[in-house]
Amino acid sequence: MIFLLWLLVSLVVFFGLGIITGWLERKLTARLQWRVGPPWWQNLADFVKLLGKEVVVPETATSFFSLAPVIGLAAVTTAGAMILLAAFQPGSSVDLIVLIYILVLPSLSLILAGASSGNPLASVGVARELKLMLGYELPFILALLVPVVKAGTTNLGVLFRLQLAQGMTVGSISGLLAFGVALLTIQGKIGGVPFDVSEAETEIASGLLIEYSGLLLGIFKLTRWMLTAVAVFFLVFYFWAGLSRVPSAIGKYLLIVILLVLIKNTNPRLRIDQAMKFFWGWLTGISVTAILFAYLGW
């Protein structure tokens, strides 16, 4: 019952945060390109507009076509609720491993969506997204292990609070390395630009989402914005002692969003093999090093 309440809170909080973060991404991109960019309610207008559009379901689509967006949204909301619960209710027993599982679901829902729409371009997107997922999950999990090694627990609430006593995780070498890796893998998770091969608008015409329209597309867009917000929120609390003070947490949140936008705007889209090499080579190497450092107590 109490978790239902947290789910509702999470939906409201991350809906707002997601809309604002999605707009920030567009606005910052526009400013970087010397444009003016859209007003702050732009993403809300996009979402409301999509609610009023016709939903076209292709003849070849299977029944998962309309189920997939709901799975993605539900997963993001649950992940958000778990993080909020761990952060703001002392003594809660939220586990990191469950959260890692749930954070995989939005990508899986995208894959389900592409596969069920029966479009050849979407199936190209599915193949790429699957490979990409295998790529970024490994370094992502390894990077999240660094604070676990230090604290010796996977209880999220404890991991958040321990930083108040011992200083933030990014303050140490291992923590800093892990934070960098987590930042880049999250860019892959949300399908940000160097790793957006599965959507690639100019190449495979939005790939996974090519057949989606109206409300269903709206839910996918919303899921993506909310996922960005949840992921950044998680980074702030997990690596950067987000619990310490509210204004500084907001500053950290904004800083991470700005970093993600900068990465997005200064890198061209990677081919899938380059992305895999990057994830399984560089990032995995760095995160393993970080874990070793963490064992040494650095």
Partner 1 sequence: MNLLTKALTKSLWVFHLSTGSCNNCDIEILDCLTPRYDVERFGIVLAGSIKHADVLLVTGIGTRKNAKRIQKLYQQMPKPGFVVAIGACSCSGGIFRDGYPMAGPISSLIPVDVWIPGCPPKPEAIIAGLVSLLGKLK
The footprint of partner 1 (CB under 8 A) covers 26, 30, 33-39, 41-42, 45-46, 48-49, 51-56, 199, 201-202, 205-206, 209-214, 217
Q: Which is nearer to partner 1, 42 or 289 (CB)?
A: 42
Q: Which is nearer to partner 1, 1 or 33 (CB)?
A: 33
Q: Would you state the structure tokens that stand for residue 230, as one six-digit string? A: 């949840």
Instruction: Name the minimum Å distance from CB 201 to partner 1.
Output: 4
Instruction: Name the minimum Å distance from CB 186 to partner 1.
Output: 23
Helix (H) or strand (E) holding 246: helix 246-266
Alpha-carbon gap, residue 213 to 208, rounded angstroms: 12
**Nearest alpha carbon to residue 190 among 232, 156, 239:** 232
Alpha-carbon gap, residue 126 to 270, rounded angstroms: 16
Q: Which amino acid is at 77?
A: T
* ∠ Cα 9 15 17 (to 5°): 100
Alpha-carbon gap, residue 104 to 133, rounded angstroms: 8
Instruction: Name the minimum Å distance from CB 73 to partner 1.
Output: 18
Alpha-carbon gap, residue 1 to 179, rounded angstroms: 34
Instruction: Name the minimum Å distance from CB 16 to partner 1.
Output: 17
Alpha-carbon gap, residue 203 to 6, rounded angstroms: 40
Instruction: Name the minimum Å distance from CB 182 to partner 1.
Output: 29
142 near 181, Cβ under 8 Å? yes
- Residue that is written with structure tokens 């016709």 in the block: 54
Instruction: Name the minimum Å distance from CB 204 to partner 1.
Output: 8
Instruction: Name the minimum Å distance from CB 12 to partner 1.
Output: 19
Q: Which is nearer to partner 1, 1 or 54 (CB)?
A: 54
Q: Which is nearer to partner 1, 217 or 290 (CB)?
A: 217
Q: Which is nearer to partner 1, 49 or 271 (CB)?
A: 49
Q: Which is nearer to partner 1, 21 or 155 (CB)?
A: 21
- Residue that is written with structure tokens 């729409």 in the block: 117
Alpha-carbon gap, residue 86 to 92, rounded angstroms: 6
Q: Which is nearer to partner 1, 54 or 246 (CB)?
A: 54
Instruction: Name the minimum Å distance from CB 122 to partner 1.
Output: 10
Alpha-carbon gap, residue 128 to 130, rounded angstroms: 5
Q: Compute how many other C-beta atoms are within 10 angstroms of the C-beta atom of residue 268.
A: 6
Q: Which is nearer to partner 1, 79 or 204 (CB)?
A: 204
